[in-house]
Structure 1
Amino acid sequence: MEDFLFSLEDSALGMYVSSSIWGYPIVLSLHALGMAALVGVSLMLAFRALGFAKVIPVTSLASYWRIAQVAFIINLLSGVGLFLGSASELAYNIPFLIKIVLVFVGLFLTQRLVNVCINGDGDVKKSDRNLAAWSVIAWVGALITGRLIGYVL
């Protein structure tokens, strides 16, 4: 496994991210922008489902979800780049592993919320509010564990 992780770090992208003056800042900036859009839209939808801003129809958030999908692609690609730059460390970093799980949980819950609220009739039910609350917990957890990656080994 170690040899595989080191080979990832030695790849062209891994070397660019870890060794060039511009690699890490560019990829990290893309990751931050993608995260802001993805998590921002996801939280906006979740808070709307929780009852905030009731004057805004939940179905009007559909176009924002398309932006979040593009942001996810940006985050996926930039996240892979960041991982390649430090694969041998990140593969064993507990906050990183928890973050990855929470991101996929957040994506799953948010996609279900989109399917129920935006693609449905626009009516927000109590079960949708529970889904939204768990979505908020997952995204906030992913943000916190993401920040902890650099500080916890």
Structure 2
Amino acid sequence: MDDILVIWDGPLSGFEDMVRTANQAHPTIKFTTEIGAQKINFLDVTITIENGFMNTNLYRKSTDKNNILHASSYHTPNVIRAIPKGQFIRARRISTQKKEYTVASNTLKERFIKRGYKPKLIDTCAKEVQEMPRENLLTYKTKNEQKCLPFVSQFNKNSKDIERIVHRY
């Protein structure tokens, strides 16, 4: 088990007792705590309490590198195009406030451009996601199960031609 978030609505002493008890449950499993009354970073999210409401925003450690897949990587073009949109959607889901999404979006734009992505693609993805209602992005959507026969091959310079032939017939 790794990385547990506990929201505690009681006295600090009660929380400390709970952690102490949990740490006695198994000799090799020990819990550490990080306590924040108004703000805490957890995984890739900053959680804040403002005016009695919980807000979330993207969080990156200061030591994090720009490890976004490089645009010149040997992946299919549709994968390269999908990565920015997926990351902008992730930022939109996590950012409770629109202004926080704008900051996260601008940071993502810079990171993608540094990794060789075309600014036009990045701007298009960012704008498209910004116009999506956040509520829609937080709603689970069941996927229509389509019956298809997978065609698995190694990606190479002829892949587009093979794809066109398969779709034609």
TM-score by length of 1: 0.26
Structure showing greater Rg: 2
Structure showing the higher strand proportion among its residues: 2
Bigger relative contact order, structure 1 or 2 (CA pairs below 8 A, ≥6 apart): 1
Structure showing the higher helix proportion among its residues: 1
